[in-house]
Amino acid sequence: MKFEWIDRGSPTSVPGFLAAGVTAGFKRSGAPDFAMITSEEPETNFAGVFTSCTFAAAPVQLCRQRVLHSPFLRAVIINSGNANACTGAQGMAAAERSCEIAAAALGIVPGEVAVASTGRIGVQMDLSLIEKGVALAVPALAADGGNDAARAIMTTDTVPKAAALKVEIDGRTVTLGAMTKGSGMIAPKLTAPHATMLCVITTDAGISNAALLPILADNAKDSFNRITIDGDMSTNDTVLVLANGRSGVEIRPGTPEAETFAAALLALMRDLARKMVMDGEGATKFVEIRVLHARSVEDAKLAAEAVGNSALCKTAWFGNDPNWGRVVAALGYSGAKFDPGKCDIYFGSIPVVKDGGDAGTPEEQLLDTVRQREFTITCDFHEGDGEYWVWASDISYDYVKINADYHT
Amino acid sequence: MKFEWIDRGSPTSVPGFLAAGVTAGFKRSGAPDFAMITSEEPETNFAGVFTSCTFAAAPVQLCRQRVLHSPFLRAVIINSGNANACTGAQGMAAAERSCEIAAAALGIVPGEVAVASTGRIGVQMDLSLIEKGVALAVPALAADGGNDAARAIMTTDTVPKAAALKVEIDGRTVTLGAMTKGSGMIAPKLTAPHATMLCVITTDAGISNAALLPILADNAKDSFNRITIDGDMSTNDTVLVLANGRSGVEIRPGTPEAETFAAALLALMRDLARKMVMDGEGATKFVEIRVLHARSVEDAKLAAEAVGNSALCKTAWFGNDPNWGRVVAALGYSGAKFDPGKCDIYFGSIPVVKDGGDAGTPEEQLLDTVRQREFTITCDFHEGDGEYWVWASDISYDYVKINADYHT
């Protein structure tokens, strides 16, 4: 399958979508902090997956209602600087009121507006800032505004993250675009109508809400749910997909076209997931951990996630230290069932552990690998056909600095 | 129950135990790195609990055999600088040979010697260093050598950790002493005959191996298993108790005397557990996380451990940041079942969250608490009678420095 990636692609690379990013005043810095994405098509289908945190923020609760009850979604508003989490009934009312404010300005109904928030937990929303954001964003909505929107949703992110691609389905071109933010409190476990990563995806494919949701949920498992920056899951993680049908390509479940669409969507989501890990708070490394031939996928997942979340592995990566003992320890306490005497481990393609013991590779030979910005650690249990992989960042001095100084 | 803590107490505060700490050459620094503790009583009972890591180190495997097969234990040797983990059959043979070397020098049988190791994983033991350690330690064995031994087992520890106390049982005085090490790779899950924390406990109580093991295992759950420095569990965690019976007090299961003995042992183990967290790698904080009124103890445990292991909470503590949003997020993703709308949270005795939302306490009032070296975070779910607590350290710049530079 061939995808054509669009240079500087964003949600507005997709025909029929407009976006803006403005400064409403949520951030003290004066940086852009309010984004709006709208669809020109009245009947824009959608789906969403959200954090599985018990303390789901008010905007997450509202978005879940939209997924359950709204046939269409015309607009998404996102503020950065206040998570509207742990804000009780007042926070819920503020989320609803935010949608009403945006709906009134756009001439649509509130049920067609979704809201997402990121920032400090436990602070009530200042609705005057939403009013200001909407007032500034609506006239600024533009067919090339996607990258402005991507910038406005950043928190500790150092770069805006957006992408878009084209795929041929049924002889016609379908475009998918997306933006995301998130560099801390990142270990999403997105579950369908129940991830502070925020992601808005747009497409001009035509697809029903019911057909879109399982594709989104499955793809989340193979993209955002595979990444870990700090092992902390947010109260606000939200991924929304809007499909306006403008391409004229209709995607029906179980068809080859649906498979192509799902694959294109997955490619886009993985690109953004990779960008999030690359821009993880203080991150200097991107490490792919692959577990092969485990007794089950679940065993492989336990093992890969334990290595990806290990503070000792992550600090070793930061230190360019080829210390495989910490990998072994993490595999050992992961809860995965395996025979340690059969375990092989590779850094890149170089064996470091053979049959559970030192493979005898001189440490100097490993240094070239672990000094790279990106490398892979492969653990082969030689037991079954269970496989899993995760993408992880390291823990650096800057990780500590950012999180000892910053109020999330 | 009254315990009399002994000033500068150590394993040799207990009558009938000798110890030494010498420099065998495992550490490049030339610091003491080999410890020996011996009992003068031929019939010294014992018990042990060990790491539940799948990659259990060779000395751990050997100690498990001792627990299963040896009626008595007369000596424990401990080296610091090489973990003898992931060393296969050669490592196992080296652990056995180490016991033989010590047994020959002490005139006892190898089955009465246990070995524990800490340090680098994946390096074969240099038995000439064991020979040197034994040759130096045997003549140095002394009734006041406990603190020397405690110093010799240190790795990244900044202070030696030892303690001893006396308790009156049945009208007579029983003494318990202990030493421990461990400041990184610390989140022990000690399970009976299966914790790189190393701990050797001595007592002059008389108690059978069969009676001692369940008391030790229960106490481990309420002490060492309650601490987390970095969330990483070691391949080498080992806790051994030696009981020489010299006090003349015989402890029988199910008696009030056994309860008193167990309580004294728990007090000693908790004292050492606290010292380990206080001396955690780079640690500047000691935080007790208490979860109250959860639906079950298991729910309380999930919630407390999630907060204690959260990288975002730990960096906030380092930053003196009263950011309860990170506590809420960790509770939310912990897997514990609770109603977020009923959750109250306190920093020290100051309410920060009431009914799942901001309790309205001005941040300045919280600063006094979070700036302290030690403070408590209490989460009250108001649901049932499940309770749990853990002790955690923070994540500082020094944590990263120690672990990006040091080969464990």
Q: Which residues of A touch B309 (CB under 8 A)?
A: 231
Q: Which residues of A touch B326 (CB under 8 A)?
A: 121, 185, 232, 408
Determine whether the interchain pair B86/A328 forms a contact, defined as Cβ–Cβ distance below 8 Å. yes
The whole-angstrom separation of Cα A119 and Cα A390 is: 26
- Spell out the per-residue pLDDT of chain A, length 408, in tens: 789 999 999 999 999 999 999 999 999 999 999 999 999 999 999 999 998 888 889 999 999 999 999 999 999 999 999 999 999 999 999 999 999 999 999 999 999 999 999 988 889 999 999 999 999 999 999 999 999 999 999 988 889 999 999 999 999 999 999 999 986 666 666 554 434 789 999 999 999 999 999 999 999 999 999 998 887 778 888 999 999 999 999 999 999 999 999 999 999 999 999 999 998 888 999 999 999 999 999 999 999 999 999 999 999 999 999 989 999 999 999 999 999 999 999 999 999 999 999 999 998 899 999 999 999 999 999 999 999 999 999 999 988 998 887 544
Angle between helices A127-140 and A88-106 (to 10 degrees): 30
Whether the CB-CB separation of B159 and B279 falls below 8 Å is answered with: yes
What's the Rg (C-alpha) of chain A?
22
What pLDDT digit, counting tens, does each position of B173-218 carry? 999 999 999 866 666 666 544 447 899 999 999 999 999 999 999 9
Given this model, what pLDDT does residue A144 score?
Answer: 97
Q: Tally DSSP H helices, then E strands, for chain B.
A: 11, 19
Neighbouring residues of B259: CB distance < 8 A, sequence distance ≥ 6: none
The whole-angstrom separation of Cα B307 and Cα B294 is: 15
* Closest by Cβ to A408, choosing from B83, B326, B408: B326
Token pair in block for residue A83? 């998570």
Pairing verdict, β B34-39 and B17-22: antiparallel
Given this model, what pLDDT does residue B188 score?
Answer: 64
How far CA B402 is from CA of A369, B49, B62, in Å, comes to 22, 28, 30
Neighbouring residues of A114: CB distance < 8 A, sequence distance ≥ 6: A46, A48, A62, A63, A66, A73, A75, A76, A77, A99, A240
Determine whether the interchain pair B324/A54 forms a contact, defined as Cβ–Cβ distance below 8 Å. no
Q: Which residue of A has its CA nearest to B232?
A: A310
* Closest by Cβ to B232, choosing from A120, A189, A330: A330
What pLDDT digit, counting tens, does each position of B227-249 carry? 988 877 788 889 999 999 999 99
Select the residue from A305, A333, A353 to test the B interface by mutation, using most B Cβ atoms within 10 A: A333
In terms of phi and psi (left: phi > 0; alpha: psi -120 to 50; beta: otherwise), the region of A107 is left
Q: Within an 8 Å CB–CB cutoff, is residue A230 touching chain B?
A: yes
Determine whether the interchain pair A122/B316 forms a contact, defined as Cβ–Cβ distance below 8 Å. no
What percentage of chain B carries pLDDT values higher than 70?
96
The whole-angstrom separation of Cα B42 and Cα A18 is: 85
Q: Within an 8 Å CB–CB cutoff, is residue A234 touching chain B?
A: yes
Determine whether the interchain pair A329/B234 forms a contact, defined as Cβ–Cβ distance below 8 Å. yes
- The residue written with tokens 């930061």 in the block is A318
Sequence letter at residue A52: S
Could you give the 3-state DSSP secondary structure of residue B401?
Answer: helix
Q: Is the ipTM of this complex over 0.85?
A: no
The whole-angstrom separation of Cα B190 and Cα B180 is: 14
Query: How far does the CA of residue B238 sit from the closest CA of chain A (Å)?
Result: 15
Q: Which residues of A touch B84 (CB under 8 A)?
A: none
